[in-house]
Structure 1
C-alpha cells in the first residue's frame, strides 16, 4: 500500500488530498495544527481505516520531530507540503500598511515549514517506492508574472519556497527523491475565496495526475495543476 503524509489537511486542498488518496487505497497520514477540531477530517478518518490524523504545526520544530519519531518505522512514497498562510487575503498591504509580523509568520509557514518537514522526513521518503516531495506553491511566486503591487509577503514567501525546493531537489536527487512544485489554480477555498475557477476535487485530481506521471525529467519544475510550466 503506497503512503502519503499531507500537511494542512484539516480543510480545503489538504482535506481533498487526504480524501482522494484515502479513497484510492493509500495509507494516509493527514496532519494539521488542530486535527481534532476539523469535523470533516475526523469524519474522513472514521470512514477510512487507512487514514490517521496527526497534530502538526509546520512552524514548530518539536511537533515536526515528534511526528517524524512517531512515524519512524513508516516508509513514505509521497510528502505533500500543503500547509500555507495568506494574511493579505484578509488584511490588504501596501506602503504604509505592511504588517511585518504577518510577513515573518508567512515565511515561517510557507517557506521554512515545507523545508523543515521535508528535512525531517527524508529518511522516510528514502525507504519508500515513490520517493517524491510535492510542494503546493502558487503562480504568485513567479517573479516573471508580477504585474501589480501588493501581496508582498505571500508572493515573496512562495518565490522563496520555489527557490528552496529547487535547491533541495539537487540535494535529494542522488537519493532518488524527486521534487514537484505545483500551482493548484484558483480554487474555491477559504484562502482562494468564493470566486475561484476550480473546486478542490478538480484541482487535486489534476495535481494527483502530475504526481502519478512524475519522471526525473520533471524534477523541480514549476507546474500548474494541468501540467503547463510557469516561468520563474
Structure 2
C-alpha cells in the first residue's frame, strides 16, 4: 500500500509514518521543512526506498502542486491530511483575527487544496481513500458544558476550522461517491503531542494504531462519516 501524509515530521504524523513502515507500507511524507525533520530522516535511513520525504506546506499552492507532481509518479492508495495547527485559544473579545485566518488556511483550506491536487492519484489507487484528521471540538452537538472533554465554548479559530474541514469532507463524499472515493474525518482523541500537551489521556501510539484500524476498515458504505480513533461515530 502506498500512503501520502501531510505534517509528517512530528507528533501524530510521524507516528503514522513509523507504524506504516513497520507493517511494510510505502510512505510519501510531506514536511514543511524536511531539513529540520530529524526523526523522520532517521526513519528514512532505516526504511530506504519505502519512505520518501518531500517539502510540503499545505497553505502554499505551489508547494502542494509540486508535492503532487513528485508523488504522481504512481498511484496513491491513501492520502492522510494530518497537517494542522491549534492557533490562539482567546476569548471572543480578544480574538486575533489574523491568527484565525492562519488557522483556517492550515486546518480547513489546506486539506482541501491537497485533496484536490492528489485526487487523480488517489482515484488511480487500489483503495481510493482520503482521510482528514479532525477534532471532536468540531462537533456542534458536543459544544456544551457537558462536552466529552469539558471544553465547552472558546477556541473559536480551532473549532471553526475543524467544522469547516468536516463540511468539506462531507461534500467530497457526496461528489465523488460514484467514482469510488472513500473519505472520512477522524478524531484522534486528546493525544499526548505538542498540541495536546502532557496531560492528554491518549498516547500517540495508541491513537495512531486505532486510526489505522479505522482507515483499513473504511468502505464506500462508511464514506462521509465523522468518527473517533476507536471507530465510534461522533455527533455532528
TM above 0.5:
yes
Normalising by the residue count of structure 1, what TM-score does the alignment of the two structures yield?
0.96
Paired residues of 1:222 and 1:229 also in contact (CA < 8 A): yes
CA deviation map 1:141-194 (0-9, x unaligned): 001111222100000100010001100111121211110110001100000000
Cα distance in 1 for partners of 2:156, 2:72 equals: 38
Correspondence 1:1-232 to 2 at 5 A: 2-49=1-48, 50-88=50-88, 92-147=89-144, 148-232=152-236
TM-score, normalised to structure 2, is 0.95
RMSD of equivalent CA atoms: 0.9
The structural deviation recorded for 1:96 is 2.5
Cα distance in 1 for partners of 2:18, 2:179 equals 29
Offset of residue 8 of structure 1: 0.3
What secondary structure sits across from 2:16 in the alignment? helix
Pairs aligned (count)? 228
Contact 2:210 2:229 in 1 (8 A): yes
1:107 is displaced (CA, Å) by 0.5
Over 4 Å off, 4+ runs: none
1:94–1:149: 8 Å Cα contact kept in structure 2? no
Farther off after superposition, 98-107 or 145-154 = 145-154
* 3-state DSSP of counterpart to 2:93: coil
Select between 67-76 and 131-140 the one with higher mean Cα deviation: 67-76
Distance across 2 between alignment mates of 1:171 and 1:51: 31
What secondary structure does 2:28 align onto? strand
